[in-house]
Structure 1
Amino acid sequence: MRFMMIVKATTDSEEGKMPSQELVEAMQKYNEELVKAGVLLAADGLQPSKNGIRISYPEPGGKPKILDGPFTEAKEIIAGYTLIEVKSREEAIEWALRMPDPHGFGQGEIELRQVFEPEDLTDNPEFLEKESALRKQVEELKKA
């Protein structure tokens, strides 16, 4: 089971305020623990939304609409994420609870969401076979 720990943005992260050295070290230690446990798939912080772009589809089949950041409502914006693969929802919660306050100022908020697996979306064997082949291709490209 894959889960994404979504770190919500704060006014500080949206202003581009960098985390303290202590927080950087705490997050590095946490990520090392995830690696040692064999559950870490990816982890990254994101730049403020002022550097972002939103693409929306206001009408079915219509032309996409492009909007440059910054975006309002910091609570709805993502500041970073950690993607893990674990055996259960409970294990994902345990890892999320171990993450240091992601902003270090008492404003941190993490949203934990399970990732859909291809088998969750369809039982069509042709689709699942193609999806598996694509994932293998991606892994091979990473190795090259």
Structure 2
Amino acid sequence: MEEVLKFLKDNPTYYLATMDGSQPRVRPFGTIALFEGRLYFQTGHVKNVYEQLIANPQIEICASSHQGGWLRITATAVRDDRREARAAVLADYPSLQDMYAPDDGNCEVFYLKDATAVFSSFTAEPRTITF
């Protein structure tokens, strides 16, 4: 899991896919944090992505590196409503602290459960990690 975290931190914009009914929705994300042995991301309660995650927590993340490789993660996004989890994720992203606070009623965090991460490139066989 640390290799997945490092890849996402080294390539800070990834794309998160959710389902909006029968329509896939993909958007750029940038938060990823390790808390209590799990990978977390953050969003706002008022955003459509939050409603999509609640309705169908099955997600996919895709990120690419400047070196030519890419990472795809399939997982279940699990909402964590604890203040400690929200504070831990925001602590990794000071730039978000002007928009979000752990107790603002808008900050939401999710962790990845039953995740399968596949590292791929044009020059090597895919490599899979589960966590």
Normalising by the smaller structure, the TM-score range is under 0.3
Higher RCO (C-alpha under 8 Å, 6+ residues apart): 1
More strand by share: 2
TM-score for both structures, normalised by structure 2: 0.28
More helix by share: 1
